[in-house]
Amino acid sequence: MKKGQKSLHRFKEWASLFSGKIFVKITAYVDESGRHDRTGKQIGSGKVVVAGWVDWRDNWEKFCNQWKSVLRKYDVRYFHFSEWADASAVARNVRPPSSSFSGNPYKGWSLDKLDAFLYEMAELAGGGQKLFVGGFISTKDFVEAKKYPEYSRFAPAPDPYQACLNQFFESFATEVRQQWPYWKEPVAFVFDHNDDSEWNHTVQSAFAASKRRDHRIAKLTFEDSKILPHLPLQAADMLCYRMRQIAEKFTDSKILPNPSRLDDLLIKPCFERATPSYLQATLGDFLSLLPLRYGDYPWRK
């Protein structure tokens, strides 16, 4: 590719991050996990998480180069946590390969290679100066709380996914302001492309409501996580999947959630570079969620 063609290609890659005459300097790459059963009965659907990373556009360009470098090192096209977890389970003899395992990009990998790959990607995802933003809804408790008017606080919207997205967008400005108190720049939100029109409509509705509250909420797009410049969606996928796992353990009083090496690489750095106001707010959020762990609710008996 000639120099002029490269410049044009780069311009097209970043064109989706412009909103009219507004030059978007900050981008939030966002994904979700646990969105496959609104009743929360299917495995992995008991909690729904919407979370992602926020950083300056120029930093994301550097991140993409680093992410691509690790992918090339392991000779794989992309990172996807659910496929990695499936390959890891097979490598550990937890379960036999499924009928669709032949299409898994990590099939045949040793456990050592799988872990090394995960940790290198996690170190990139959690590194730098990016911000972690997100929220979750206990889908199981949400559905059950609908049956009991006195517990309506656990079901603040008609649908658990709508509640989670509302929570995410409503808290976004507060969380970013706690970290960047002089934040003034417009933000573009990039979600992973999917064919679920109902989900996409809910995302758009929550985004529109947030934009009416804050003019810095500038743009929303749905993009392919395997195509530049949207590789950070793969890092958002890693974050969401792990946060859902943590949420599932946190709300089960029989399980003691212990931080793992993955957490040390992916999540711990975010808190180490966080401002005191953000840490204080996070502690408040943690305390407010304790009832989900220890609450003696009628549907849990």
Instruction: Find, among 134, 209, 230, the residue nearest to 175 by Cα.
Output: 134
Tell me the pTM: 0.90
Residue 7 falls inside a structural domain: no
How many structural domains are present in the chain?
Answer: 1
- Around Cβ 189, how many Cβ atoms within 10 Å? 24
Based on its alpha-carbon atoms, the radius of gyration of the chain, rounded to whole angstroms, reads 20
Q: What are 226's two structure tokens?
A: 């395997």
Within 8 A by CB and 6+ apart from 86, the residues are 98, 101, 104
**What is the rounded end-to-end Cα distance, in angstroms, of the chain?**
65
Residue 28 falls inside a structural domain: yes
Q: What are 65's two structure tokens?
A: 């180069």
Residue 84 falls inside a structural domain: yes
Which range (49-58, 204-213, 243-252) has the least confidence? 243-252
pLDDT tops 50 at residue 222? yes
Handedness of CA 259, 140, 145, 209 (dihedral sign): positive
Residue pair 3/207 in contact by the 8 Å Cβ criterion = no
- For residue 2, the model assigns a pLDDT of 53
Q: CA-based angle 93:117:13, to the nearest 5? A: 130
- For residue 4, the model assigns a pLDDT of 53
Residue 15 falls inside a structural domain: no
Please give the single-letter amino acid code of residue 171.
S
Residue 43 falls inside a structural domain: yes
Residue 5 falls inside a structural domain: no
For position 285, which CATH number holds?
3.30.420.10
Residue 11 falls inside a structural domain: no
pLDDT tops 80 at residue 233? yes
| Helix or strand holding residue 144 (H, E) | helix 139-145
| Cα of 69 vs its chain's centroid, Å | 22
Residue 53 falls inside a structural domain: yes
Query: Domain span at residue 39?
Result: 22-300
The pLDDT tens digits of the residues spanning 264-276 come to 999 999 999 999 9
pLDDT band for position 163 (cuts 50, 70, 90): very high
